[in-house]
C-alpha cells in the first residue's frame, strides 16, 4: 500500500477524484456538505478528507498557497490513484468579470516556475476540456453570473499581482496591460502548474474560482458575500467533478 510523503495518507484512503483547496479552513466547510466524511489527518497544514457527494466518492486536500506546494499535493494524490482534479478557490480578475462572479479556467499562462519541471518550456497550459464542459453545465443551470476565462499564474504575488510598495506599482500595472493584450481575465498562483502537471502525469485538471479581488481598483469581495459564494462554489464544483470520468481512459459523460 502506498503512502504519501507529505500528505501522510494511504492509497486506500483516497478517491479517484479530488478537490484542491488553498485555505485549510475551507476543508471544514466543505466537509459539512459531504456524507461519510473521513478526516485523514494533517501535516504541515496539508489537511485531507475523503467523503461522498451524492454517492460519488471525493477526496479534498488543502495546500495553502502557490504552485510548488499545490503541485506537490496533486502529484502525491496522483501517485495514490487520483486521476481527476479540480482546484476550487478565489482569483484576482480583470473586466468584464465582476466581484462575486464565478470563473472557469480554460487555460492559463505559465508565469510561475513549477510548470517547466513537468512540461519543459511552457507558455500556456490547458485545463481538461471535459471537466470544463461539466463546469459550464453546472454554472449555466445555476443562473449565477459566470465566465470562461484564460488565467495567468504567478509566483511573485507582491511583485506581479498586487503592489504593496509604490515602487512596484508600475511593474504591476505593466503586467496587467500585457495580460489584457493576451486575453487574460483572471490571475492566480496555481492553475497553470496544476494543468501542466496533470497533463504530463496523465490526469485531468480544472479550475473553478470566485472573483474575490478586482485587479484594477483592488476592491475585495466582502466576507459575508464570499462565504455565500464559497458554498455555491463547492456545490457547482462537486456536481461537475462527480459527472467527470474518474480517469482519462473513460469517456466523458
Task: CATH number of the domain at 57, please.
Answer: 3.40.50.1580
Amino acid 43: pLDDT: 87
In angstroms, rounded to a whole number, what is the distance separating the alpha carbons of residues 220 and 61? 25
**C-beta neighbour count of 90 within 10 angstroms:** 22
pLDDT at 41: 85
What's the CA gap between 166 and 63, in Å, rounded?
A: 30
pLDDT digits 0-9 by tens, 180-199: 999 999 999 999 999 999 99
142: left (phi over 0), alpha (psi -120 to 50) or beta: alpha
- Residue 119 in any domain: the answer is yes
Per the domain annotation, does 1 fall within a domain?
no
- Residue 179's contacts (CB-CB under 8 Å, 6 or more residues apart) are 94, 109, 152, 187
Is residue 251 in a domain? no
- Identify whether 82 is part of a domain: yes
What is the number of domains present in the chain?
1
pTM, two decimal places: 0.95
pLDDT at 250: 63
DSSP 98: -
Domain-embedded: residue 90: yes
Distance of CA 112 to the CA centre of its chain: 15
User: What is the predicted pLDDT for the residue at 249?
Assistant: 65
Please list the ranges in the chain whose pLDDT falls under 70.
247, 249-253
Rounded-to-integer distance, Cα 176 and Cα 167, Å:
16
- Is residue 195 situated within a structural domain? yes
Burial class (CB in 10 A: 0-12, 13-18, 19+), 223: exposed
Structural domain boundaries, residue 220: 11-243
In this predicted structure, what is the pLDDT of residue 219? 93
Residue 153 covered by a domain = yes
Q: Is residue 2 part of a domain?
A: no
pLDDT at position 40 is: 96
In which residue are the cell numbers 511573485 written?
Answer: 156
Cβ(90)–Cβ(215) below 8 Å: no
Amino acid at each position: 500500500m502506498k503512502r504519501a510523503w507529505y500528505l501522510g495518507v494511504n492509497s486506500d484512503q483516497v478517491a479517484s477524484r479530488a478537490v484542491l483547496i488553498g485555505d485549510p479552513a475551507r476543508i471544514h466547510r466543505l466537509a459539512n456538505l459531504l456524507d461519510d466524511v473521513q478526516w485523514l489527518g494533517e501535516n504541515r497544514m496539508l489537511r485531507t478528507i475523503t467523503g461522498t457527494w451524492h454517492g460519488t466518492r471525493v477526496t479534498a486536500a488543502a495546500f495553502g498557497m502557490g504552485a510548488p506546494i499545490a503541485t506537490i499535493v496533486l502529484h502525491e494524490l496522483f501517485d495514490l490513484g487520483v486521476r481527476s482534479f479540480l482546484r476550487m478557490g478565489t482569483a484576482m480578475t480583470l473586466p468584464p468579470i465582476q466581484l462575486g462572479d464565478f470563473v472557469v479556467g480554460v487555460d492559463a499562462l505559465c508565469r510561475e516556475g513549477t510548470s517547466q519541471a513537468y512540461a519543459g518550456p511552457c507558455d500556456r497550459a490547458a485545463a481538461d476540456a471535459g471537466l470544463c464542459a461539466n463546469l459550464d453545465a453546472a454554472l449555466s443551470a445555476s443562473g449565477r453570473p459566470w465566465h470562461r476565462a484564460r488565467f495567468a499564474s504567478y509566483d511573485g504575488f507582491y511583485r506581479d499581482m498586487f503592489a504593496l510598495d509604490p515602487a512596484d506599482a508600475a511593474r504591476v500595472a505593466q503586467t496587467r496591460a500585457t495580460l489584457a493584450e493576451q486575453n487574460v481575465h483572471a490571475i492566480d498562483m496555481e492553475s497553470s502548474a496544476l494543468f501542466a502537471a496533470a497533463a504530463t502525469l496523465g490526469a485531468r485538471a480544472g479550475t473553478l474560482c470566485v472573483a474575490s479581488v478586482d485587479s484594477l481598483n483592488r476592491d475585495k469581495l466582502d466576507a459575508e458575500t464570499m462565504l455565500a459564494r464559497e458554498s455555491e462554489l463547492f456545490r457547482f464544483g462537486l456536481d461537475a467533478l462527480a459527472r467527470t470520468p474518474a480517469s482519462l481512459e473513460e469517456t466523458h459523460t
